[in-house]
Amino acid sequence: MKILVVGKGAREHALCWRLARSPGVEKVYCAPGNPGINRVAEPVAIAPTDAARLAAFAEQHRIDLTVVGPEEPLVLGIADAFAASALAIFGPTASAARLEASKSFAKQVMRRAGVPTAEFAVFDNLEQARAHVAAAKRPLVIKADGLAMGKGVTVCATAEAALAALDETMAARRFGAAGARVVIEERLYGEELSFFALCDGKTAVPLGFAQDHKPLNDADRGPNTGGMGAYTPVPGCGAELEARVMREVVAPVLRAMAELAAPFKGVLYAGLMLCEGRLNVLEFNVRFGDPECQPMMMRLGGDLAEFLLAAAHGRLDPAARPSLSRRSAVAVVLASAGYPASYRKGLPIRITEPASLGDDADAGCYDESSIEVKLFHAGTAENNGQLVTDGGRVLTVTAAASSLALAAQAAYQAAARIDFPGKQMRSDIARRALEGSFISDRLQAGRIGHGS
C-alpha cells in the first residue's frame, strides 16, 4: 500500500513513523514533511491546502490512501476534492469538518444528538450578546465561532471579563472573521480529557483517552497553547468510561451527522470535561490531537494503515479495534522562546548523545531496557546541514515505558539532552496523574452521572 500523509508537524511525524511500520505499507509520502519526517517518508513539495495538486499527485503516484493531519485542509474541502477523483482519503468532508470549524454548528449537533454539553446561546449581534452576559448569573465562556488557532476561547471569572472578551472578539475582531459569531456558554469545572474514535461515516471504533496540557507553564498557568505535552493512558479512564463515551457521545454524533447529510469519516476527537460525576463535551475536533497523537502512536500496535483504509472506504468492522499496548507514553513539547506569541526562527538545535534521536532510519529511536524514546519534529528546518528551529512548537520528545512514571522520566531525560536558545518546556507533564491528585474513584465510569 502507498500512503500520502498531509502535514508537517510532530503529529504527522508520528503518523508517518507508525504507518511506515504497518505490515502492508510499501511507501509513505508526506506533503510537505520536515527534516524528521523526511527520514521515514519521502517529502512532496506541495502545500497541505493545495488540494488540487495533492489529488493530482495521488493519482499519478497511485496512492492507495491519503491521511490528513491538520484541520485546515479538511475545512477547505480536501476530502471533497479527493472524493471527486475517486481517491481514498481518511478525513471528513468540508461539511462534516464544520464540527471543528464552527462551534455553534457543533453545539447544535450536540443538542440534536442529546450529547451532554454546557448550556449555550449563539449571537451574531454584539448588543444582544452583551445583554445575555448582563442577565447571566454565573461564570461564562466566550467562544469565537470559527477557527482561531485554538485561541478563540476566553474563560471568564466575572461579567466584566465576559463583556471585555465579547468586545475583543466581536468588535475588535481579534480573531478576525472567526469572531463575527460567538457562542456564549456556561463555565464548567473539572478535569479535561481527550478521546479519539476512528469513524467511517456510520461505524466508529475507539482509539482511547489521552490528556493534553494546554497552558504554557507548569501548574496550568500562562497563556493557552496548541498543547505543551500529553500522556496516555489516563489512570482511572478505562473500558467502562470508553464504552460510555462511545455510546453517549460518538454514536449519537455519527447518527446526527448522517441525518444532516454530512456523514463523518476520520478521527472524531472529543474534548471532554469530567467533574463530580458528570461528563460533558467541550468541543469536537476532526483530526488527531497534537500532541496527543504522538504518545498514542507509540502505544499503537497492529496495522494502522488497514484501519484507516477501512474507515476511508466506509467498511470499519465495529467489532475490531486498533490494539493499544499496556505501556504508558508521555510527550513533552519543546517550544521556542516567545511561543505562543511571536518567536524567532533559525536558531541552532543541539542534541547531545545518546539522544541523537532523529538521525537513524527509524526517525530517531532507541530502546533502553524496554523504554523507547522518539523525537518527533514539528517546527524544524535544516540549514547547511544544521538542524534549526522553524516554528513555535519545535520538537515533541515522546517516551513509552511499562509505567507512566518511567515514561515521564525517560521523556524528561531525553528532553534535557536537547537544547536551543530560549527552549521552553513544562516540567510537570503527567504529574497530576502520577500524584493521583485528580483521578479518583468518583471518575470511574459507572459512577459518572449525566451532563449538566
Report which of 402, 400, 443, 446 is spatially closest to residue 236, judged by C-alpha positions. Answer: 443
Cβ proximity to ligand GLY: between 131 and 149 the closer is 149
CB-based contacts of 45: which residues, under 8 Å, 6+ apart? 31, 32
Contact 31, 44 (CB under 8 A): yes
156 to 215, contacts with ligand GLY by CB under 6 A? 212
Cβ proximity to ligand GLY: between 208 and 227 the closer is 227
Least distance (Å) between residue 227 CB and ligand GLY: 3
The residue whose grid cell reads 441525518 is: 259
Binding segment (CB under 6 A) for ligand AMP, from list 126-134, 186-194, 196-204, 374-382? 186-194
Of positions 167, 191, 192, 372, contacts ligand AMP by CB under 6 A: 192
Binding segment (CB under 6 A) for ligand GLY, from list 255-263, 286-294, 354-362, 412-420? 286-294
The three cell numbers locating residue 322: 486498533
Least distance (Å) between residue 270 CB and ligand GLY: 12
Cβ proximity to ligand AMP: between 153 and 297 the closer is 153
For the chain, how many helices (H) and strands (E)? Answer: 14, 24
Of positions 41, 65, 118, 363, contacts ligand AMP by CB under 6 A: 118
Report if residue 156 touches ligand AMP, rule: CB under 6 A. Answer: no
Least distance (Å) between residue 230 CB and ligand GLY: 7
Report if residue 390 touches ligand GLY, rule: CB under 6 A. Answer: no
Count other Cβ atoms within 10 Å, centred on residue 214.
19
Cβ proximity to ligand GLY: between 11 and 265 the closer is 11
Q: What is the DSSP string of 347-369?
A: -B-EE-TT--TTSSTTSSEEEET
CA 352 to chain centre: 29
The residue whose grid cell reads 475583543 is: 168
The residue whose grid cell reads 535544516 is: 382
Q: Which does 423 bind (CB under 5 to 8 A by kind): ligand AMP, ligand GLY, none?
A: none
Least distance (Å) between residue 312 CB and ligand AMP: 27
Region at 396 (left for phi over 0; alpha for psi -120 to 50; beta for the rest)? beta
268 to 307, contacts with ligand AMP by CB under 6 A? 271, 282-283
Contact 10, 290 (CB under 8 A): yes
Least distance (Å) between residue 151 CB and ligand AMP: 9
Q: What is the DSSP string of 330-350?
A: EEEEEE-TTTTS------B-E
Q: What are the residues binding ligand AMP (CB under 6 A)?
A: 118, 141, 143, 153, 155, 185, 187-188, 192, 214, 271, 282-283
Q: What are the residues binding ligand GLY (CB under 6 A)?
A: 150, 212, 227, 285, 289-290, 292
